[in-house]
Amino acid sequence: MEKQLHVITTGRQNDDVLVKIAANIHPYITMLHVREKTKSAKEVSHLIEHLQKAGVPSSKIIVNDRVDVALCLGVNGVQLAHHSLNVSQVRRALPEMIIGCSVHSFSEAQNAEHHGADFIIYGHIFKTASKRDAEPRGVDQLQRVVDQTTIPVIAIGGITPENVRNVIETGATGIAVMSGILEAKSPLQAVKLYKQQLEVWDAQNV
């Protein structure tokens, strides 16, 4: 199965910049997660509408936390965190919606799967500037999560083109990247580098 590349917004870019970047990079990514914690539901919906108008397919858009916005805008799904509605609640209400869940431990991963998540994002794997005070989980813990869950596992945290292979060798379904792409000097060049590493792996493991 082709390895996935998820890009998650950082909350540090204005809408115009983000939309312009997304319009350029979306052909190379699997999913774009709109993760804008400081925005209201209306502001998030406006951003998504701009992304859609710029050509980003709704099928590639995931909304973090805001189930209401995801439903109203007709995007692919929602990404839930510890402060969000429970996976089981969303699954009961919206059985057809794609539900991702952000987890940080093996037990959280098992719980997300048990309650109906379609995939999990697990991390952080390596040291990252966004989580300076937290110890990274590392590839060994990622391996355990991959081995003992049956839903797709997307790894996040400090992943660079240089360490993509170390991550994917665990059997992870893919990777998620934030600033490594969106805040790169050339987001388009950056996304191509990540995509190239995943394609090399895919070609060698057909």
Tokens found for residue 172: 């992870």
Task: Report whether 102 belongs to an annotated binding site.
Answer: yes
Task: Report whether 138 belongs to an annotated binding site.
Answer: no
Report the catalytic residues: 124
DSSP string, 40-74: -HHHHHHHHHHHHHTT--GGGEEEES-HHHHHHHT
Cα torsion 60, 58, 93, 108 to 10°: value is 20
Task: Report whether 65 belongs to an annotated binding site.
Answer: yes
Task: Report whether 174 belongs to an annotated binding site.
Answer: no
Tokens found for residue 205: 């493991």
What separation in angstroms does the CA of 77 have from each of 54, 65, 103, 194?
Answer: 19, 10, 17, 23
How are beta strands 98-103 and 119-123 bridged, if at all?
parallel
148: exposed, middle or buried (Cβ count in 10 Å: 0-12, 13-18, 19+): exposed
Q: Which residues lie below 8 Å from residue 75, measured CB to CB, with a gap of 6+?
A: 48, 58, 59, 61, 62, 63
Contact 32, 7 (CB under 8 A): yes
Task: Report whether 131 belongs to an annotated binding site.
Answer: yes
Task: Report whether 130 belongs to an annotated binding site.
Answer: yes
Which residues are documented as binding site? 64-65, 102, 128-131, 158
Which residues are documented as binding site for Mg(2+)? 65
